[in-house]
Amino acid sequence: MARVNLRSLVIAYAVVMILLISEIEANQEEECQGNTDQLVLECKNYIQKPGPVMDPSKECCVQFQNTDIPCLCREFTKDKDIEKILSMEKWVYVAKYCQCPLKSGTKCGSKLADAFSWNFFA
C-alpha cells in the first residue's frame, strides 16, 4: 500500500514539474537570458507555491545569476496563471539571497517589489 502511495506521489510531482516548465516556456514571449529549464530544476523547491521560504542552494543561485530575472518578472506579469504554481514572494527572496535583487518598483506577477524591505505590495 505504501509503495502505491509513493509511486503516485512521484508521478504527481513529475507532472507538476512538467507543467511548471511548460507554463514558463509557453508564456515567455520575449527571449529572456538564461536556461529556464535548468533554473526550474535547481530552484523548484525554493520558488514553488507550497512550503516555507528557504535559503536556496548554491546551484539554484548560479541559475538565478545566469538568468535575466527582471525579464522573467515581466513575463510573469503578463501571465497571472504562473502564480498558481510559483510564489512571487519566494521568487524575490531567492533573487535577493542570490545577489540579484529586483529594483524597487519592479513588478513581478501581480506583486510590486519594495527594495527597502524586500517585501511586496499588492
In the chain, domain spans: 2-121
Which pairs with CB-CB distance under 8 Å and at least 24 residues apart come from 12-20?
A: 16/48, 16/85, 17/41, 17/44, 19/85, 20/44, 20/48, 20/85, 20/86
pLDDT tens digits, the chain, 122 residues: what are they? 455 566 666 666 666 666 666 655 554 455 788 888 899 899 999 999 888 999 999 999 999 999 999 899 888 888 878 888 999 889 989 999 999 888 888 888 887 776 544 454 44
Domain 2-121, architecture per CATH:
Orthogonal Bundle (1.10)
